[in-house]
Amino acid sequence: MTADREAALLAEVPDGLFIGGVWRPASEGRTLRVFDPATGEAVKTIADASVADGTAALDAAVAAFPEWSRTPARERAELLRRTFDLLQERKEDIALLMTIEMGKPLAEARGEVVYGGEFIRWFSEEAAHVQGRYGANPEGTGRMIVSQHPVGPCYLITPWNFPLAMATRKIAPALAAGCTVVIKPAELTPLTTLFFVKLLEEAGLPAGVVNVLTTSSSGKVSEPIIRDPRLRKLSFTGSTPVGQRLLEQAAEGVLRTSMELGGNAPFVVFDDADLDKAVDGAMAAKFRNIGQACTAANRFIVHRSVADEFARRVTERVQNFRIGRGTEDGVTIGPLIDDRAVAKAAALVEDAVGRGAQLRTGGKAVDGPGTFYEPTVVSDVRPGSDILREEIFGPVLAIIPFDDEDDAVRIANDTEYGLVSYVYTENLARGQRMIERLETGMMGLNMGVVSNAAAPFGGWKFSGLGREGGAEGIHEYLQTKYTLTPNP
Ligand code: NAD
């Protein structure tokens, strides 16, 4: 029954590129296979775009832009709203599809449908709220008009870890603002985007407004698009090194860019924290998405007087996790995305333990099939360990003790990243000091998950540029014009 349902769902996912309102094979006839990381088996074969397909997709977005940008905001909003409704109808199917191609437990995939869907609803509402200003200039010599205009055709690149939310977080504000797009999902998890764009089509998407490229040659296909002077905006979510490379390419056309890059989130637990709440928050901040989130807590910086008790409690919780394919009842830890991710988690734990950290639980890859790594806790991690510097992107909780507030702030800020931080304290003044002292674009104060469609998501330092979501999100796709007219 389950296998039949999965097969029927996978058969429903389009296997072509979507260009100018038409689903079609790749121009050179190449295909790529998508795998289930829990079984290692290929689940679907889809089109593998060439450079020529990339140009064709941009052509389509450029051709559709004049009309779409002039379409009344209310109509654009209604398209998004209909898509939101269709997404609710197909909620279970999209969740299952994400679990199949990405591995997250089904309950979490359902949560992502809610979260990802909220961006569509939010920006359907924001579309009609873009406003300008009109008024006399201070000298009284004229009237100033400030207006907002869509930036133009956009290229959107998304990662594999949140297959739906990363797509909706970019497509929805772009469409709401009046922009047309080419989206390139990660080659590891492209099926959710293909399915989602089919829903947009069902909702009445005009030809060329959204175009989809799936490819195993991301660099080769993307570079000519980014360097094409007709493109006006690049929005990228992924790793910092790739983001840096794309920024160099974008410099040529002085492109507007949004960059949601890597993180190395500190999770600070003070001695005045409510330890029960901190442990609950730690579980969510660390093990959601099997640790594969840019917002995942990477370093648990815990006051020395409570570090041992905190380690004991999180270890107990971790030992109750159930590992398996995300479709099975009760599974809380799915597979990592691929072999490389398993090897990375293993190497980081080995390095930390080799430098004197204590392994409390886990610490091993699970024998195949599938790419699983045991949920792991290491405590007393020593300064200089790789795990403090690198994004773990796996189910490994690393604890470092600290002695006083200045010490905690110094350790927390000791990274080039600045996406999110988590702080647990019952002392209000201390919490407020942390808001001012921690160098991150977002913070969970006694909260282990911060993401929300109504909030400006984004980082400081090497974690990126721009914001997605919130009132800020639509402005990433708008440009400002100031006009001076004579006094009437
Ligand atoms: P990645 O940088 O390897 O890939 C991201 C996307 O870029 C994929 O679609 C990939 O195909 C594409 N890509 C890779 N090389 C490219 C190139 N040369 N030119 C054009 N496109 C290219 O990252 P990933 O492994 O897919 O995702 C994990 C990373 O994403 C982590 O660092 C994580 O922190 C980050 N991330 C950030 C956020 C955020 O909002 N800040 C959200 C999710 C993930």
Tokens of 52: 């020529």
- What is the spatial distance between Cα 205 and Cα 202, in angstroms, rounded to a whole number? 7
Amino acid at 344: K
Q: What's the pTM value of the predicted model, to 2 decimals?
A: 0.97
pLDDT at 120: 98
Pocket of ligand 1 contains residue 98 by CB under 6 Å: no
Written as six digits, the tokens of 378 are: 């290491």
pLDDT tens sequence across 337-370? 999 999 999 999 999 999 999 999 999 999 989 9
| Atom of ligand 1 at shortest range from CA of 260 | 41
**Does 263 sit in the ligand 1 pocket, CB within 6 Å?**
yes
* CB-ligand 1 contact for 438 (6 Å cutoff): no
Closest CA to 324 of 282, 377, 276, 374: 374
* 263 CA → ligand 1 middle, Å: 12
Q: 274 pLDDT band (50/70/90 cuts)?
A: very high
pLDDT value of position 20: 98
pLDDT at 250: 98
Mutate to test the pocket of ligand 1, among 48, 161, 449 (most ligand atoms within 8 A of CB): 161
pLDDT tens for each residue of 239-256: 999 999 999 999 999 999
Q: Does ligand 1 come within 6 angstroms of the Cβ of 221?
A: no
Ligand 1: distance of its center to the CA of 344 in Å?
A: 16
Closest ligand 1 atom number to CA of residue 463: 41
Write down the mean pLDDT value for the chain: 98
Atom from ligand 1 closest to the CA of residue 240: 32
The residue whose CA is least distant from atom 16 of ligand 1 is: 219
Q: Which atom of ligand 1 is nearest to the CA of 160?
A: 26
Closest CA to 462 of 255, 297, 259, 298: 259
pLDDT classification of 484: cutoffs 50, 70, 90:
very high
Kindly give the number of the ligand 1 atom that is closest to the alpha carbon of 222.
20
Give the relative orientation of helices 191-202 and 165-177 as an angle to the nearest 10 degrees: 40
Cα distance between residue 285 and residue 277, in whole Å = 12
- pLDDT, residue 2, reads 83
Q: State whether the beta carbon of 163 lies less than 6 angstroms from ligand 1.
A: no
Among 260, 374, 391, 476, the active-site one is 260
245 lines ligand 1 (CB under 6 A): yes
Percent of the chain with pLDDT over 90: 99
Q: Using CA positions, which residue lies closest to atom 42 of ligand 1? A: 294
| Digit-coded pLDDT (tens) for 281-327 | 999 999 999 999 999 999 999 999 999 999 999 999 999 999 999 99
Query: How far away, in angstroms, is 294 Cα from ligand 1 center?
Result: 10
Contact 445, 434 (CB under 8 A): yes
> Is residue 294 in contact with ligand 1, taking CB distance under 6 Å?
yes
CB 309 within 8 A of CB 275: yes
Ligand 1 proximity of 419 Cβ (cutoff 6 Å):
yes
Quote the tokens at residue 460: 């400081």
* DSSP-assigned letter for residue 333: B
CA 391 – ligand 1 centroid, Å: 13
Model confidence at 1: pLDDT above 60: no
Average pLDDT for 386-394? 97
Taking the centre of ligand 1 as the mean of its atom positions, its distance from the CA of residue 158, in whole angstroms, is 6
CA distance 345 to 13: 32
Per-residue pLDDT tens digits for 125-151: 999 999 999 999 999 999 999 999 999
Interatomic CA distance for residues 485 and 488, integer angstroms: 8
| Distance from C-alpha of 441 to C-alpha of 433, rounded to nearest angstrom | 15
Token pair in block for residue 362:
């886990």
Q: In angstroms, what is the span from residue 217 Cα to ligand 1's centroid?
A: 14
pLDDT at 218 (0 to 100): 98
Closest CA to 417 of 263, 299, 270, 226: 263
Is the Cβ atom of 261 under 6 angstroms away from ligand 1? yes
For 438, list phi and psi in degrees, rounded to 5.
Answer: -85, 130
Q: How far is the CA of 237 from the centre of ligand 1 (A)?
A: 5
426 a catalytic residue: no
